[in-house]
Chains A and B, each alone.
Chain A
């Protein structure tokens, strides 16, 4: 077997075992998304006007995209911890693939992201969400979510390698992702925002991905959003994978 692939699998297994061993981490992938769905639907939903949609239908594609963008935080935490504890030095002194520490972690994120999607869809359906699209579109939508989540795992990989501690990695990720995900069409129609924010939201890749998800799950007009969403996801993954691998090779123990 190709060594990059086998090294990646060895390290992906390590990340997954970590989560199985310390189930408290699972809360981030399960209870937290459930909480957000319920808070938005039942606390904010009544006050948000979404013409043509029940709020729960409007919300689920948006909140899925936001949750998936945060799914890679375990990669940032894990890498920051590996750096701090000297494990990165050990890995870099081994005759293993130079990128496997990163590809292993991001691969493991796909599994936890899939779990989050399932949990949120189940809660969403219970809260009243219903698909209005052919099965092939729904499946393409699920694929888009996973690809988008994978792209942000690489963003988090870069954050993890760039921050001074696991705690800093986490807050850095949140400071950067919260505004980006909120100033988009994820939670409210963007024409309800002040002009400046609306202009930003229109070009925000989050908006493009959320619009693509609504098209794929609810049958709304897609425009170019589906191609745009895949292009953004693949572009983000490529850029941050390149930056992260370069940074990893030079990484110094904190």
Chain B
């Protein structure tokens, strides 16, 4: 394996007709780490995954996964990767058990192993009770778990997850996160794409923020947050009418001018210590009622907004991922 990198890509480019889906992106992930590709729909995340999983040849640039070139050594690479995605690619007309056994047979596992491996994964993914039911009777969360189990059948050292929780209810999302974290603890390298900032924040060691086919920022969650500055005070006022009074009272302790929207006042602060007490005192002095007050670190939402000038979710209305 070249160095300790499980995934390395340089200058990947891909165009569909007149759309430049990838415009020269570099990615790298050390073995055993989780790399998050974060970006809105249409940013190029799925295209990157398709290239790295040998489904699509790049127009330019090169990529290696576990040291194997994704174009020249594609056939050999396929036995070393697992792919699970937002489309939950399992056969609805087969049972969960049959799906996993079929995938094991197609990975050419030794005789008997597709069956034992399927049983093991059904157990681990809490699908034993549903093992002999047709997948079309499964809930969305169960399908995703089965899809993820299918990607793990051959114990691949690298796992690609394309928007693994898109469309899932909150409970199923948390379940799936825990499963993914379990994989990582066992040493699997994971590349995960997501448009959810909290997902990247929770799962990824390193995050590459992608917009319009380019990596516009890269780093750990904390490093990215540092790029947008320090902590922030949020004050919810009892009455929106008192906004001007509140701004005047708080400006002296703000690092930048406070912003007011819909009864919520936000301002960056210079010093964390004592700032809440000070703010409460100042508002009290001018007679402004406080409904809620809190200090918060910037979220990846703020990071995205700062880097791209638009909010991550806004792009969702554009419709489907680039394909």
Contacts and interface: CB of A to CB of B under 8 A. Distances in A.
B105 A93 contact: no
B49 to A, nearest CB: 10
A6 B81 CA distance: 21
Interface residues of A, number: 24
B88 A7 contact: no
B88 A86 contact: yes
A85 B55 CA distance: 15
A86 B89 contact: yes
Contacts of B50: 89
A94 B78 contact: yes
Contact of B106 (A10, A17, A85, A254): A10
A95 interface: yes
A92 B51 CA distance: 12
A197 interface: no
* Size class of the contact patch on chain B: 20 to 34
Contacts of B98: 17
Contacts of B106: 7, 10, 91, 94-96, 100
A95 B78 CA distance: 5
Interface string A172-201: 000000000000000000000000000000
A93 B93 contact: no
Interface of B: 50, 53-56, 75-76, 78-79, 81, 83, 85, 87-94, 98, 102-103, 105-108, 134, 150, 323
Given A7-B106, A18-B93, 20 more contacts: A10-B102, A10-B105, A17-B93, A17-B98, A21-B94, A85-B87, A86-B85, A87-B89, A87-B90, A89-B83, A89-B85, A89-B87, A90-B89, A90-B90, A95-B75, A95-B106, A252-B56, A252-B323, A253-B323, A254-B323
18 contacts: A21-B93, A21-B94, A85-B89, A86-B88, A86-B89, A87-B90, A89-B83, A90-B89, A91-B106, A93-B55, A93-B83, A94-B107, A95-B78, A95-B107, A96-B108, A252-B56, A252-B323, A253-B87
